Amino acid sequence: MYEMYTKEFLQNRMLGRIKTDIDKSEGSFTFDAIAPAAIELAQTYIELNGILEKAFAQTSYGEWLEKRAEEYGVYRKAGTRAYGAVTFYGADGTAVPEGTLVQTEAGLQYETVKEITIAQGNAIVNIRAVTEGTQYNIPARTISQLPVQLTGITKVENTGPIVEGRDMESESDFIQRLLLKVRKPATSGNKNHYRQWALEVPGIGDSKVFSLWNGAGTVKVLVVDSNRNPLNPEGELLKTVRDYINDNRPLGADVTVESARRLDINIAANVEVEKDHSMDLIMQEFKTKIVAYLKSITFLDNFVNYLQIGKILVDTDGVKRCHSMKVNGGTDDIEIDAEECPVLNEVNIAQTVEQEVS
């Protein structure tokens, strides 16, 4: 809105208001005296542009977006720390204090939640990540190190996975949830109300509501995680959503909360690669774009667009041309059932060598 108010524009306008018989040329006293004021005024207009962006939800960010959302009772979902258990091995009687750090080879650190003592050669203790984030979700036997060595401890490992770590809600998801609250008011347990309840649970990225799905008074709520992937049917997150919705639902409503079913998307293609481009980097960029595309259509479209996937492939940096491509073994759009969410499963891209013309 204020882009035109540059230092030059403001200085020329100020000079234009001075009597014409005074020297206003560059380097004159008048010109040099006005220049600092023009610079400061231009900076003020830059700040005004920033204030305008912060004032509207769709262009706001950070703490300003959070303050805007709080006016409507919408609060950003915090991340959660991953948790699990590790086994310490060592001499009987060795004490492992609460807060002892363990870590993976990659340097991800976790802390014990209570003090334990080794008995019969080992002891199991619960741990949690030192901070929030999905990067702390790791498979079994990944933790193997002690940043600070403990006398009497010979080995540490996690025999099971470390789970339930979640990132703070992304700004894009936060904005969409705020706009949903404002544009689709929730009243008396309508469909919007159930969707908002589901989205208020940390770790839930989207939801879909079916009213009267199994007769009068019944409601089905489908959910996916923040990456638009299905939830573990036996996991804690799905249980949390069920409990939260049941605590808020209208009296008498029969509510079923389930995870969306996974629809695997497998892509096989044959491409010609431009010189000095790595197939590994091409694969990485292509997968990232496909995941973003599938995320964007979850619960919105009823098919995966074959041509859109082809466009993403040929637009990937380093791809010169695509000779063939199949999605789930064919060249048609992939239908998405009402209770499914598409998830990228396998990508196989073969490189065709360009034939030299003799």
Helices 279-297 and 306-314, interaxial angle, to 10°? 150
Q: Is residue 336 part of a domain?
A: yes
Residue 27, pLDDT score: 83
Q: Do the beta carbons of residue 343 and residue 310 sit within 8 Å?
A: no
Q: Is residue 343 part of a domain?
A: yes
Q: Is residue 87 part of a domain?
A: yes
Query: CA 185 from chain center: how many Å?
Result: 25
DSSP 17-72: TS-TTS--STTSHHHHHHHHHHHHHHHHHHHHHHHHHHHSTTT--HHHHHHHHHTT
Q: In this predicted model, what pLDDT tens digit does every residue of 45-65 receive, in sequence order?
A: 888 888 888 888 888 889 999
SS3 content of the chain, % helix, strand, coil (to 5): 30, 30, 40
Whether residues 280 and 238 fall in one domain: no
Whether residues 253 and 231 fall in one domain: yes
Counted domains in the chain = 4
- Domain boundary residue, one of 200, 229, 259: 259
Whether residues 151 and 93 fall in one domain: yes
Whether residues 191 and 141 fall in one domain: no
Query: Considering only CA atoms, which of 196, 94, 185 is closest in space to residue 146?
Result: 94
Whether residues 268 and 224 fall in one domain: no
- Domain boundary residue, one of 259, 285, 300: 259
Ordered per-residue pLDDT tens for the chain, 358 residues: 777 888 888 888 888 888 777 877 888 888 888 889 989 888 888 888 888 888 888 888 899 999 999 998 899 998 999 999 999 999 999 999 999 999 999 999 999 999 999 999 999 999 999 999 999 999 999 999 999 989 999 999 999 999 989 899 999 899 989 998 888 877 778 888 999 999 999 999 999 999 988 888 899 999 999 889 999 998 889 999 999 999 988 888 899 999 999 999 999 999 999 888 888 999 999 999 999 999 999 999 999 999 999 999 999 999 999 999 999 999 999 999 999 999 999 999 998 766 554 4
Whether residues 291 and 254 fall in one domain: no
Q: Is residue 201 part of a domain?
A: yes
Domain residues for the domain of 153 are 81-158
Whether residues 344 and 284 fall in one domain: yes
Q: How far apart are CA 352 and CA 275, in angstroms?
A: 12
Q: The CATH number of the domain where 254 resides is what?
A: 3.30.70.1350
Q: How far apart are CA 234 and CA 356, in angstroms?
A: 56
Whether residues 269 and 326 fall in one domain: yes
Q: Do the beta carbons of residue 65 and residue 130 sit within 8 Å?
A: no
Phi and psi dihedrals of 46, rounded to 5?
Answer: -60, -45
Q: Is residue 29 part of a domain?
A: yes
Neighbouring-strand partners of residue 335: 303
How do 303-304 and 83-90 pair as beta strands?
unpaired
Residue 353, pLDDT score: 65
Whether residues 114 and 49 fall in one domain: no
How do 101-104 and 143-145 pair as beta strands?
antiparallel
